[in-house]
């Protein structure tokens, strides 16, 4: 029986929880980590927050999950990374790593010899994600994003991985569950699933606000997933969910001012006006209309928009 469990430079004995800093090769910032080695054998799970540095609810939820886990009550192991992208967190950088201006959650599986975000993605995948049986990646609305809570799983070629991931995504007190078939390339959950590891993203909280209520929702959801995996002995709580197969992103093809006319959670019809892009004088440059019937899952709340920026996403 394995008595000591080691992840890079951090180790935990059987029945021990260790708080330390994970040192990834070629990465300047050390990542705070809870390494929880349960007293009994079982699966290994990774819980991450802060892939995007200003999604504060995800960070708070992951931190509190790590603090609450008791190895004496666990069958299995947990790696909890509350701030997976410290450079973005302390720079208050929206969407991107502050050094290369790349979105970490579009870089997986990464590049060992690439830029900062590419290297961080590579080592998170190689040294952490590939060492676990399940991945739970916590997110929320970034500093300029309003959203309604939703979870995402990858519609992987491996049906068992897909069904396990879907089951995990369905265990949060969240109405919308998205089965994404590659609309968001380079993501943690997609990369993990393609490597045979069931994985999900859970989104709650918005606009850079640390919401205790949304953090608690994420914490309860993670605990429920851990119970379903047999890591915790709690009774699994079922949740009612609406399953969505289309995750339709709208991006700007120009710089301008963004005036949405809908709100998150609104149901919209195909062809409906969603908002307009205007120039600096207020003259309309473009009308943004819905491609499909569906529900508005997230909405960029920034007036300033650059070429290529997201505007909103609709689930259908």
What b/e sequence results for 140-177 when a residue is b if at least 16 CB atoms lie within 10 Å of its CB, and e otherwise? bbbbbbbbbbbbbbbbbebeebbebbbbbbbbbbbbbb
Q: 189-215: per-residue pLDDT in tens?
A: 999 999 999 999 999 999 999 999 999
Kindly state the average pLDDT of the residues 278-296: 97
pLDDT value at residue 242: 92
Q: Which two tokens stand for residue 284?
A: 């309309």
Q: 126-169: per-residue pLDDT in tens?
A: 999 999 999 999 999 999 999 999 999 998 889 999 999 999 99
CA distance 314 to 292: 8
Q: Per-residue pLDDT for 47 more than 60?
A: yes
H-helix segments, the chain: 56-68, 86-91, 116-127, 159-169, 188-194, 212-228
Q: Which two tokens stand for residue 299?
A: 């909405």
Q: Per-residue pLDDT for 1 more than 60?
A: no
86 dihedral zone (left: phi>0; alpha: psi -120 to 50; beta): alpha
What does the domain layout of the chain look like in residue ranges? 4-243, 246-315
Q: 55-114: per-residue pLDDT in tens?
A: 999 999 999 999 999 999 999 999 999 999 999 999 999 999 999 999 999 999 999 999
pLDDT value at residue 2: 63
Task: Say whether pTM exceeds 0.85.
Answer: yes
Residue whose token pair is 């990542």: 31
pLDDT value at residue 185: 86
- Find the distance separating the first CA and the last CA of the chain, reported in whole Å: 48
Domain 246-315: which CATH number of 2.60.40.1250, 1.10.645.10, 2.120.10.30, 2.40.50.100: 2.40.50.100
Q: Per-residue pLDDT for 42 more than 70?
A: yes
The yes-or-no answer to whether 4-243 and 246-315 have a common fold is no
pLDDT value at residue 184: 75
pLDDT value at residue 183: 67
pLDDT value at residue 60: 99
Phi then psi for 76, rounded to 5 degrees?
Answer: 135, -165
Sign of the CA dihedral running 154, 157, 163, 165:
negative
Kindly state the average pLDDT of the residues 31-52: 98
Q: 215-271: per-residue pLDDT in tens?
A: 999 999 999 999 999 999 999 998 888 999 999 999 999 999 999 999 999 999 999
pLDDT value at residue 131: 97
**DSSP bridge partners of 305:** 256
Would you identify the CATH topology of the domain 4-243?
Aminopeptidase (3.40.630)
pLDDT value at residue 239: 86
């Amino acid at each position: 029986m394995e008595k000591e469990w080691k992840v890079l430079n951090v180790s935990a004995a059987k029945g021990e929880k260790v708080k330390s800093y994970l040192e990834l090769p070629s990465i300047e910032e050390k990542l705070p980590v809870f390494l929880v080695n349960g007293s009994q054998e079982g699966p290994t799970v990774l819980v991450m927050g802060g892939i995007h540095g200003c999604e504060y609810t995800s960070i708070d939820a992951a931190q509190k999950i790590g603090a609450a886990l008791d190895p004496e009550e666990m069958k299995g192991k947990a790696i909890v990374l509350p701030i997976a992208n410290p450079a973005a967190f302390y720079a208050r950088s929206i969407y991107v790593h502050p050094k290369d201006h790349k979105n970490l959650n579009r870089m997986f599986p990464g590049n060992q010899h690439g830029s900062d975000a590419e290297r961080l993605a590579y080592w998170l995948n190689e040294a952490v994600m590939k060492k676990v049986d399940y991945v739970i990646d916590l997110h929320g609305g970034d500093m300029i994003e309003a959203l309604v809570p939703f979870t995402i799983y990858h519609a992987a070629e491996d049906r068992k991985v897909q069904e396990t991931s879907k089951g995990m995504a369905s265990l949060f007190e969240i109405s919308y569950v998205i089965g994404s078939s590659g609309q968001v390339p380079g993501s943690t959950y997609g990369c993990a699933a393609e490597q045979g590891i069931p994985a999900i993203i859970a989104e709650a909280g918005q606009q850079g606000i640390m919401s205790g209520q949304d953090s608690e929702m994420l914490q309860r959801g993670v605990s429920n997933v851990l119970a379903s995996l047999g890591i915790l002995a709690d009774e699994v709580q079922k949740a009612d969910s609406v399953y969505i197969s289309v995750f339709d992103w709208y991006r700007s093809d120009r710089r301008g001012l963004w005036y949405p006319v809908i709100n998150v959670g609104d149901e919209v019809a195909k062809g409906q006006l969603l908002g307009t892009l205007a120039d600096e004088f207020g003259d309309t440059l473009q009308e943004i209309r819905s491609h499909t019937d569906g529900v508005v899952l997230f909405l960029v709340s920034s007036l300033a928009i650059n070429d290529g920026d997201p505007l909103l996403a609709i689930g259908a």
